Amino acid sequence: MHFLITAGPTREHIDPVRFISNRSTGKMGFAMAQVAAARGHAVTLVAGPVALATPAGVTRVDVVSARDMLAAVEAHLPACEALVMCAAVADWRPAQVSAVKLKKRSMSPVLELEANPDILAAIRDRKGGRIFAGFAAETGDPRAEGRRKLVEKGLDLLVANDVSQPDAGFAVDTNRVILLTGDGREQSLPLLSKLQVAEQIVAWMEQAARRT
């Protein structure tokens, strides 16, 4: 299969030196890419700004903002059979972006924001027979929110994790996730390395592709 995987945060610039973003480091998405390539799949990895090396055998496309990421996903989706939206896409961007560094004295203490596009919502009608997986980072029990996102975003699989745990979620090499699937099932995985979590997800997607 050809996997399209997004990873990392997006960065939404205010001016050339300031931006809003989030705590994602890209580790889970890069683990997904590494595992999918090692299992013999073609992999296109759309990466936000992260400090990680490209895994062997993976084609990497670097992006900065949510709108860049949407454009890259739209460009590469037609050639892919599986999409994994691992990226922590910033929900909001500054309404105005300055081409030059703003002077402190000329800045308003209130930052006006506008909503970024939801990438999964934007490409939903181009899904066809593709397998779509998404991630949801929640603080607290992620089941209810995860199930809502699975349905709302038209996913086959939603990987939900509680990022308030110190050994799961952002910037660590381990993760504890719950797999929620479109047929109403859920599977809680124990604490695993992100590579082991990625193995489970890629294996699930391979099986789902065989069923379709």
Give the bridge partners for 44, in sequence order: 4, 59
Of 1, 2, 58, nearest in space to 26 by CA: 58
22 is annotated as an active-site residue? yes
Beta carbon of residue 161, minimum distance to ligand C5P (angstroms, whole number) = 10
Beta carbon of residue 104, minimum distance to ligand C5P (angstroms, whole number) = 30
Of 13, 4, 28, 34, nearest in space to 170 by CA: 28
DSSP-assigned letters across all residues of 46-80:
EE-S---PPPTTEEEEE--SHHHHHHHHHHHGGG-
Beta carbon of residue 149, minimum distance to ligand C5P (angstroms, whole number) = 5
Site residues, ligand C5P (CB under 6 A): 66, 85, 87, 89, 91, 116, 118-120, 134-136, 149, 153
Residue with Cβ nearer ligand C5P (32 or 89): 89
Residue with Cβ nearer ligand C5P (72 or 85): 85
Cβ–Cβ under 8 Å, residues 173 and 193 = yes
Residue with Cβ nearer ligand C5P (107 or 151): 151
Point out the residues that are catalytic: 22
